[in-house]
Chains A and B, each alone.
Chain A
Amino acid sequence: MKSTSRLGAWVAIAIGTIYFLLPLIATFEFSLKMNRDGYSFEAYKVVLSDPGFQATFGYSTLMAVLTIIVGILLVVPTAYWIQLKLPRLRPLVEFITLLPLVIPAIVIVFGYLKLYNSSAWLPLTGNDRATDFLLMCSYVTLALPYLYRSIDAGLRAIDVRTLTEAAESLGASWPSILLQVIFPNVKSAILSGAFLTFAVVIGEFTMASLLGRPAFGPYLQLIGANRAYEPSALAIIAFLVTWASMGLIQVFARNARPARKTA
């Protein structure tokens, strides 16, 4: 009985491994075939030296960093405040932060285009800088579920009230309580939310494409429609970026665990 169920488990894991590794292997193999006379990293060389790649990847990286900063500045004080002062608002705030998982991104951006078009009361699609701002806000919206859940869990694991009262009795002001007491204590939660946000934003297509900004996602789509080997190289690069983001989350989560116990 035991050995048959273990065999079944091995079979399940083996089939899963094949299904998940095969596309990666195939993509990698395809990306090496740009030169007709054998395997080479030619496609990677072409992609990495393409000014379009550099510009769009840089743009999306900048967007991701801005999204993370604004997202953290929005979510940490809110989650902290809810925990400390307004616990009865928690269900409402949690519900709002889950909405971006319920409302598809394409619907949200459609709403932006209707609400903020160039003849509207707040014409955020009127010029490039304003649209960049709108795109960043759309990414903060997309990141809300991940950021809020991660940071809220981090705050619950520490004694917010005691820390706040201790800091206050030592004469700390509100900004320094947040920056010097709360932020450092939920650093690993913030970082894991931040890396997840990075992974989501870096290749995002729908928002950037419909807002007409030169991000990495629309660039990927353009290359995919026009080139043969470069898309595979780009897919491998994108996979490595996602993998790196997730790996860093694991690293920080592991480092944080013993620290939290002593705190």
Chain B
Amino acid sequence: MPTSPDSVTHCPPEAGQARKRLAPSALNWLGVVPFFLFALLFLILPTATLMIGAFQDANGHFTLGNIAKLFDDSILSAYWISFEVSAASALGGSLIGLLLALAAIQGGLPAWIRPTLMTFSGVASNFAGIPLSFAFLSTLGRMGLVTVLLRNYADFDLYSTGFSILSFIGLTLTYLYFQIPLMVLIVTPAIDGLRAEWREACESLGGSSVAYWWHIALPILWPSILGSTLLLFANAFGAVATAYALTGSSLNIVPILLYAQIRGDVLHDQNLGYALALGMIVVTGLSNAGYIWLRSRAERGRE
């Protein structure tokens, strides 16, 4: 390992002045070497090698052909369905999550509601993946409780309407189960940042509660809301397990296509697989960058 001798020479002199009696200056940088080595080996290099592979042909020469093939109809449609599911669950999740958080924090409800909602949100936002898909199959599947109850007591056959838990709407409903609680958790600090004085000032100036929300609360909250929606979008876009266990391969979304590609090279083109992965990183990266930017705006606005 090239750690000890190299990092001594890389160590800038001013680092040594900062601490006087603690340790020799090389140790300063040595202390973070394990972390950076780990990040390099298990996070950065694996991702970088895919990104490079996306721009290479089978012989290792540079090409933009793989990126161009992403725009073929079959792959583009996978991205489009992924985009729709992620967008629908992100918009629905952020709207419902916002309303739930507002109700619990500012709705004048008993004090125990808020901690209960927070604890439950912590659990439900982590209750994703395969068990979640089982839960929704038992609820809205063909033999699910809600489906059976509706058929027996309301004489209504859910599946005659074209509904299926294995479809776009089913997947979106399932994703909402972890998206809504996640929204509650992220947006709560922003709602807590709304000061009571602002509402009082608005009321004492004769403003209605609609005016308060439209002119004061929403303009303050919107960067947080929009940013959280982007985070929820990225969260859904990268999810594999829930969709795979729920729909198998009947719904052609990007993570499932990529899963099948890794398992058995279904695209018959290794480098196109790398491009598929690159496309995912671009989408989730852009939405996360938007989230971070909007969050920093929201924090600046609060100070």
A140 touches B126 (CB 8 A): no
Instruction: With a 10 A CB-CB cut-off, give which of B18, B130, B277 has the most chain A CB atoms.
Output: B130
Residue of B with least CB distance to A111: B46
The A211-236 residues at the B interface (CB cut-off 8 A) are 217, 220-221, 224-225, 231-232, 234-235
Residue of B with least CB distance to A148: B35
CB contacts (< 8 Å) of B43 on chain A: these are: 96, 99-100, 103, 108, 141, 144
B113 touches A13 (CB 8 A): yes
Number of interface residues of A (CB under 8 A): 84
B103 touches A224 (CB 8 A): no
B241 interface residue (CB < 8 Å to A): yes
B168 interface residue (CB < 8 Å to A): no
CB contacts (< 8 Å) of B23 on chain A: these are: 174
Q: Please judge, given known A-B contacts A29-B145, A205-B240, A217-B241, whether A5 and B107 are in contact too, CB under 8 Å.
A: yes
Stretch at the interface among B133-141, B151-159, B221-229: B133-141
Residues in B lying within 8 Å of A, measured CB to CB: 15, 18-19, 21-23, 28-29, 31-32, 34-35, 38-39, 41-50, 53, 96, 99-100, 102-104, 106-109, 113, 117, 119-120, 122-124, 126-127, 129-139, 143-146, 176-177, 180-181, 209, 234, 237-241, 244-245, 248, 255, 258-259, 262-263, 273-274, 277, 280-281, 284-285, 288
B259 touches A210 (CB 8 A): yes
Least distance between A32 CB and chain B CB atoms (Å): 11
Least distance between A120 CB and chain B CB atoms (Å): 10
CB contacts (< 8 Å) of A115 on chain B: these are: 45-46, 49
A13 touches B32 (CB 8 A): no
Q: How far is the CA of A58 from the CA of B41 in the complex (A)?
A: 27
A104 interface residue (CB < 8 Å to B): yes
CB contacts (< 8 Å) of A166 on chain B: these are: none
Q: Out of B34, B107, B124, B144, which one reaches A12, CB within 8 Å?
A: B107
The A27-53 residues at the B interface (CB cut-off 8 A) are 27, 29-31
CB contacts (< 8 Å) of B96 on chain A: these are: 16
Least distance between B268 CB and chain A CB atoms (Å): 17
A102 interface residue (CB < 8 Å to B): yes
* Nearest 6 Cβ contacts at the A-B interface: A9-B107, A111-B46, A104-B238, A26-B145, A9-B103, A238-B131
CB contacts (< 8 Å) of B103 on chain A: these are: 8-10, 12-13
B284 touches A102 (CB 8 A): yes
Q: Please judge, given known A-B contacts A105-B238, A108-B46, A204-B129, whether A25 and B31 are in contact too, CB under 8 Å.
A: no
Residue of B with least CB distance to A96: B39
Least distance between A94 CB and chain B CB atoms (Å): 11
A242 touches B127 (CB 8 A): yes
Least distance between A221 CB and chain B CB atoms (Å): 5
The A172-210 residues at the B interface (CB cut-off 8 A) are 174, 196, 199-200, 203-206, 210
Q: Out of A5, A110, A140, which one reaches B50, CB within 8 Å?
A: A110
Q: Out of B15, B29, B137, B234, which one reaches A102, CB within 8 Å?
A: B234
Q: Please judge, given known A-B contacts A26-B145, A107-B277, A196-B126, whether A78 and B285 are in contact too, CB under 8 Å.
A: no
A22 interface residue (CB < 8 Å to B): yes
CB contacts (< 8 Å) of B126 on chain A: these are: 196, 199-200, 242, 245-246
Q: Please judge, given known A-B contacts A86-B28, A196-B126, whether A234 and B134 are in contact too, CB under 8 Å.
A: yes
Q: Out of A13, A25, A98, A106, which one reaches B240, CB within 8 Å?
A: A106
A104 touches B237 (CB 8 A): yes
Least distance between A262 CB and chain B CB atoms (Å): 24
Residue of A with least CB distance to B19: A85
CB contacts (< 8 Å) of B258 on chain A: these are: 106-107, 110
CB contacts (< 8 Å) of B35 on chain A: these are: 74-75, 78, 93
A23 touches B32 (CB 8 A): no
A220 touches B31 (CB 8 A): no
Q: How far is the CA of A82 from the CA of B50 in the complex (A)?
A: 30
Least distance between B169 CB and chain A CB atoms (Å): 15
CB contacts (< 8 Å) of A196 on chain B: these are: 126
